[in-house]
Structure 1
Amino acid sequence: MSHSLILTNVKVVTATEVFDGTVVVENGRILRIDQGVTSLAHAVDGGGDYLLPGLVELHTDNLEKHFAPRPGVRWPARSAVMTHDAQIVASGITTVFDALSLGDVMDDSNRLRYLQDMVDALDEAREAGVYRADHLLHLRCEVSYEGLPDLFGVMADHPMVHLVSVMDHSPGQRQFVREDKYRQYYQGKYGLSEQQMEDFILSQKANSEKFSSQYRRTVVDACRHRGIPLASHDDATQAHVAEACSDGMTIAEFPTTEAAAKASHEAGLKVLMGAPNVVRGGSHSGNVAASALAEIEVLDILSSDYYPSSLLDGAFRLSRENAAYTLPRAIDTVSRAPARSAGLTDRGEIAQGQRADLVLARADTLSPVIRQVWREGERVF
């Protein structure tokens, strides 16, 4: 661990303001934050770029694509994990919740086939001390999947598990209220014929009817007993939000309607939306746009979801396109807000005593350019 580090001539972005200053790090923690520039010879000159807190990513399935980069290709596990880790850090993310799906709409999907391999590889890399970012686990529980209780029973007590979400991706509700979008997505993903798609829809609706309510209760009760933070997923109605509040959720992931997002925010749940939604200008599923939620100031957290570099890009775009989201507030959506909502109080902001997870970024072009990244005072990029 680094014993001392001084970063100067930087635009320091705290939780409330931006100023030209100097940050002093001692033994992996932020010791002091000063206005102005120091002339000490061993200080790192930031060239006037932004100094940001390390980003905190709560929901990314980026690891999966490195295990299966092409159809029929299974990449070696250790290499897949380390490539994922490098991409995460290069995107300014110093704490990542790797989202692993417990259940899927297809029994033979890669995310199920490689689940244990991914967990084993993550464990091995942690034990070897080779990570650049801090890796934690987010268990995405597909409550309409028949085998969920067995998978959850194996994974619930894993020491890296710090977040659990409950999902139901069956057609006609939540993410896929519009069945045409459901057909477009899954026919494109799996190459199903019209008849296969009809059978698939009937099967998914039946599974949801049979398992979802019971399995949701099982997962929620187990997490509350263990003190694991919970997230709802794809809430669309007031009833969904009421259920999430009753279940003790702290995060509302990807609400699909403005009404659900507003109700969640007002109830104290942190509303999480996809940074790709901000960068692209809308939802690929035809649901509410993140920008619309920013307009009514109920957007609390951004997640890179499937595209790691979108996280910082999305935050800067948010600050440029919406006057209510000053740069400190926009950066909060990718740092302090996600950290606190998942129970992490030692990171996510540039403040005395916090972990020295820091990002130096240049933002004089349309998309920010990440120049350097430190985790607990050690340079990792």
Structure 2
Amino acid sequence: MLAPAMVDIHGDAFERQLMPRPGVLLPTEAALLETDRQLAANGIATAYHALTLSFEPGLRSVATGREVVAALAALAPRLTVENRVQLRWETFCFEALPLIEEALAGPLLPALAFNDHMTMAVLDASCALQDRPFDHDPAFPVTDMHGSAFAAKMETRAKRSGMAAADFTALMREIWTRRAEVPAVIALAGERARAVGAPMLSHDDSQPETRSFYRGHGARISEFPMNLAVAGAAREAGDWIVVRAPNAARG
């Protein structure tokens, strides 16, 4: 029987199955089986689980990502829909590269999405997030990472990671020191993905320059462009554009 179905290219639902409450992690296989059943019930035939690979411990860590990739492979005969992953890679997380390479060599080709929530997190409050400069601009306006406002901003992330707020802000300061190395690591990851023909996306682009940078590495999908200028630049270059409902509602 043939029936119409949907493809979800950025699905976060599995995170809620893994961690239904802050600090409560359920067994990975049980969470993925439940997610699979929900996908089928909602008419989704192919899902790219947005698997964040971050320097944060906990839910979005590389260790959790490795567990999810392994569990999906082990559960394959029992799954009712096609479960793929979008490797939602935080570009400051160099530790994720081995897992990215392993996933790219797997039986179901993943997508690779370039995310830079690190740079967004340290943006000075005087600049609107959707208008921020190119993330690798040497003049990027950075907040005081030792100030109370930054510490308060990091509280939610710290809770998700299972860390004390002070320890998490210290981790953020440490990771920020990697900034000069990030472009080279992005180039390496892009090379690996291009070699196997994996689709690539850049996430939350705020400048046409940002879109151009990632396009140069093979990312021809602009995922959630943050303003019309970026979306227009993407369209002019022939890129695919993905916009979700919350972004559209925000304008």
Q: TM-score, normalising length from structure 1? A: 0.53
1:266 matched to 2:236: yes
Partner of residue 70 from structure 1, selected from 15, 21, 34: 21
Partners of 2:103 and 2:110 within 8 A in 1: no
1:59 matched to 2:10: yes
1:196 Cα offset (Å): 5.5
Which structure would you say has the larger RCO, counting Cα contacts within 8 Å and 6 or more residues apart?
A: 1
What's 1:154 paired with? 102
1:205 Cα offset (Å): 2.7
Partner of residue 204 from structure 2, selected from 219, 234, 245: 234
Partners of 2:222 and 2:234 within 8 A in 1: yes
What's 2:176 paired with? 205
In 2, distance between residues paired with 1:176 and 1:77?
Answer: 38
Aligned-partner residue type, residue 265 of structure 1:
R
Using a 3 Å threshold, how does the CA distance of structure 1 residues 183 and 254 change in structure 2: closer, same or farther? farther
Using a 3 Å threshold, how does the CA distance of structure 1 residues 245 and 74 change in structure 2: closer, same or farther? closer
Give the secondary-structure state (helix, strand or coil) at the position aligned to 1:235: coil
1:184 Cα offset (Å): 6.2
In 1, distance between residues paired with 2:101 and 2:130?
Answer: 26
Aligned-partner residue type, residue 93 of structure 2:
Y
- Could you say which structure has the higher helix fraction? 2
Partners of 2:158 and 2:165 within 8 A in 1: no
In 1, distance between residues paired with 2:158 and 2:39?
Answer: 28
What's 1:220 paired with? 190
1:249 matched to 2:219: yes
Equivalence map 1:3-152=2 (5 Å): 28=2, 53-102=4-53, 104-106=54-56, 108-112=57-61, 113-126=63-76, 128=77, 130-152=78-100
Using a 3 Å threshold, how does the CA distance of structure 1 residues 268 and 76 change in structure 2: closer, same or farther? same
Gaps of 5+ in 2: 133-140, 144-148
In 2, distance between residues paired with 1:86 and 1:161?
Answer: 21
Equivalence map 1:171-182=2 (5 Å): 171-172=122-123, 177=132
Aligned-partner residue type, residue 101 of structure 1:
T
Q: Percent identity?
A: 24
Q: Deviations over 1:86-119 (max 9, x none)?
A: 22233332211112223x141x222323222212
1:231 Cα offset (Å): 0.9
In 2, distance between residues paired with 1:119 and 1:197?
Answer: 26
Partners of 2:154 and 2:165 within 8 A in 1: no
Give the secondary-structure state (helix, strand or coil) at the position aligned to 1:110: coil
Partners of 1:231 and 1:252 within 8 A in 2: yes
1:221 Cα offset (Å): 0.9
Using a 3 Å threshold, how does the CA distance of structure 1 residues 132 and 194 change in structure 2: closer, same or farther? closer
1:198 Cα offset (Å): 5.5
Aligned-partner residue type, residue 206 of structure 1:
T
Using a 3 Å threshold, how does the CA distance of structure 1 residues 70 and 118 change in structure 2: closer, same or farther? same
Gaps of 5+ in 1: 3-27, 31-52, 283-288, 290-381
Aligned-partner residue type, residue 259 of structure 1:
A
